[in-house]
A and B are shown apart, each in its own frame.
Chain A
Amino acid sequence: MASRVSSLRRPAAPTSRTQLLVALAILAALAPLPSLGLEIYWQGVVITSLYYALLASNWNLLAGYTGLFSLAPAGFAMLGAYVTALLWTYAGVEPWLGIPAGAIVCAIVGLVIGVLTLRLSGPYLALTTLALAEILRVIVLNSFDITRGEIGLQVPALFAHQSSYYYMFLVAVGGFLIGLHWLLGQPCGLYLRAIRNDETGARARGVRTVFWKVFAFSVSSGLSGLAGALFAHYVIIVSPSIGHLLVTGLVMSMVVLGGMGTLLGPLVGALLVNVSSEYLRAAGDYQHIVFPIVVILFARFCREGLVGRAAMIFNARVGTQARSGAKATEVLASP
């Protein structure tokens, strides 16, 4: 009877354990590189990639799983960074308190925005987050006496060695993905996906859609703030460039490239985009055109992204084997 069900076009399972394992394997493969002599410069590229992977995964939680379009992933990262920077500069608060404070402030701001905008469906969240991101940046730029504008605020480093940051971000991304995989396996993971798929249907069948949308937005905002605060103590100078809208665009392109609504996609997208942009640097400002074009091409020809496409190919192959008698294990799509 099971043969009635075609697995040929079977998409990537959003909660795939295999994808989590592949992601952890990538992180594990990156781990020994500093001790194998990876240059400081390239360690920095990987660290930035992992920071972007955090923002991308957070944006994916919203756009890929819940269907919410926020334009403030970079905005919240900047807010988180400034919370710890301002606390340090004006109250001498140590980073180990400042970093969680950044996350909490962002979660609260996310909660307020969510409550205000997520009762309505439509473009309100996108518009509000766009406004928030730009207003925050303008405030920071114009409050020179407090924030030192574009020059930025200096914050203490967490570690003496670059490689320590490298490991910290590896652990942060790994921990985030494990947490996300766990969350998606809970009833709330089903609710979020149901909301993205058909919000009216979900509401009519008893899902507290407003509550779960606000929940997802608040959690995602808080974790973006956490990523920004961690990043702040890596770059040591907190400036408004962290929150630039171009960063948000870059984060979105990473998710689209890797695969929206896949666990592994944002990590793959972040590594690919950030590492390849090192090679595009020679092209100067033209590099800003490359990723939008790639995004358009993907949106047109490969909507499922690289990881989504790989999973489909894999599932099709496993499906063929299953028909010829081999054991049917849908690896990338397995729960």
Chain B
Amino acid sequence: MSALIAVENLTKRFGSLVAVDGVSFTIGDGELVGFLGPNGSGKTTVLNMMSGLLRPDAGRIALDGTDVGGMAADSIARAGMIRMFQLTRVYTEMTVIENLLTAGFALGLGKREATERADEVLDDLKLLAYREAFASDLSGGQQKLLEFACCFMKAPKIALLDEPFAAIHPTMRQVLADYVRRTNAAGQAYILVSHDMPIVIDLCPRVVCLAAGSVLADGPTDQVLREPAVIEAYLGPNH
């Protein structure tokens, strides 16, 4: 059986700093995996390499059995691995609907399809009232929702979400979490990077914990969170 995602021995150095140090994991179809780890443990760097924005120094990344290690970021997105950034990236000088259509067209949707899908996603995420607004006029949290929406114009094989819940109001957070839960139940695979423990525990059956660039633990959420090494990495040695 070939996994949806197979990452092997992924390594990235920045000068003398080894930001990601021999990371390996696999993710199966329809899995929702949480990524935990202290600040600077390498989570974003792993996503940057998976999405093609950063060249790994070593290691392999396969999507559905295809090596995507050397592929351009836009090809990887079109191949079905799409990501959301920790620091929000939307087209602020374009309207909400233009943001969504750009994503839809780029992923191969036609005009009618893209428009219908955009309205559907906006409705799901309670953004329909802002359809014609410029993205720059949205609040920070709403911009995050918009970026999230852009990732789902065409269902990806897997969505890589980097801190989607940070700085989002609790009600919106619920809207987002519900969306993730609902689509995951329908088979959508995710990597969810988050520092928000309650949400990770609630949503993710499995977590991977990184520390200092290496995988510290990988397994069912309740087990991983009980491991002494994880507790130490997160809360410090005195706990």
Q: Which residue numbers of A lie inside 8 Å of B, CB to CB? A: 1-2, 4-6, 9-11, 187, 190-191, 193-194, 196-198, 200-210
State A194–B77 Cα separation when bound (angstroms): 16
Asked whether, in the complex, the Cβ of B74 is within 8 Å of the Cβ of A203, the reply is yes
Asked whether, in the complex, the Cβ of B91 is within 8 Å of the Cβ of A193, the reply is yes
Majority secondary structure, A binding face: helix
Q: B77: which A residues are within 8 A, CB to CB?
A: 203-206
Closest chain B residue, CB of each to CB of A10: B134
23 contacts between A and B (CB under 8 A): A1-B129, A2-B132, A4-B129, A5-B129, A5-B137, A187-B102, A190-B94, A190-B101, A191-B102, A193-B93, A194-B94, A197-B94, A198-B90, A202-B102, A204-B51, A204-B74, A204-B83, A204-B89, A205-B102, A205-B151, A206-B77, A207-B102, A210-B72
Q: Beyond A5-B137, A209-B74, is A201–B107 a contact (Cβ under 8 Å)?
A: no
Q: B102: which A residues are within 8 A, CB to CB?
A: 187, 190-191, 193-194, 202, 205, 207
Chain B interface residue count: which class?
Answer: 20 to 34
Q: A193: which B residues are within 8 A, CB to CB?
A: 91, 93-94, 98, 102
B3 within 8 A of A: no
Q: A198: which B residues are within 8 A, CB to CB?
A: 89-92
B78 within 8 A of A: yes
Q: A207: which B residues are within 8 A, CB to CB?
A: 74, 102, 106
Q: B134: which A residues are within 8 A, CB to CB?
A: 10-11
Asked whether, in the complex, the Cβ of B73 is within 8 Å of the Cβ of A204, the reply is yes
Asked whether, in the complex, the Cβ of B72 is within 8 Å of the Cβ of A203, the reply is yes
Q: A206: which B residues are within 8 A, CB to CB?
A: 74, 77-78, 82, 103, 106-107
Within B9-45, which residues are at the interface with A (CB < 8 Å)? none
B130 within 8 A of A: yes
State A10–B93 Cα separation when bound (angstroms): 10
Q: Beyond A197-B92, A198-B89, is A190–B98 a contact (Cβ under 8 Å)?
A: yes
Q: A1: which B residues are within 8 A, CB to CB?
A: 128-129
Minimum CB–CB distance from A229 to chain B (whole Å) comes to 34
Q: B107: which A residues are within 8 A, CB to CB?
A: 205-206
- Give me 11 other A-B pairs in contact (C-beta within 8 A), A202-B102, A203-B74, A204-B83 excluded: A4-B130, A187-B105, A193-B94, A201-B85, A201-B91, A202-B74, A203-B77, A204-B82, A205-B82, A206-B74, A209-B74
State A202–B99 Cα separation when bound (angstroms): 10
Within B148-166, which residues are at the interface with A (CB < 8 Å)? 150-151
B133 within 8 A of A: yes
Q: A204: which B residues are within 8 A, CB to CB?
A: 51, 53, 73-74, 77, 82-83, 85, 89
Closest chain A residue, CB of each to CB of B80: A206
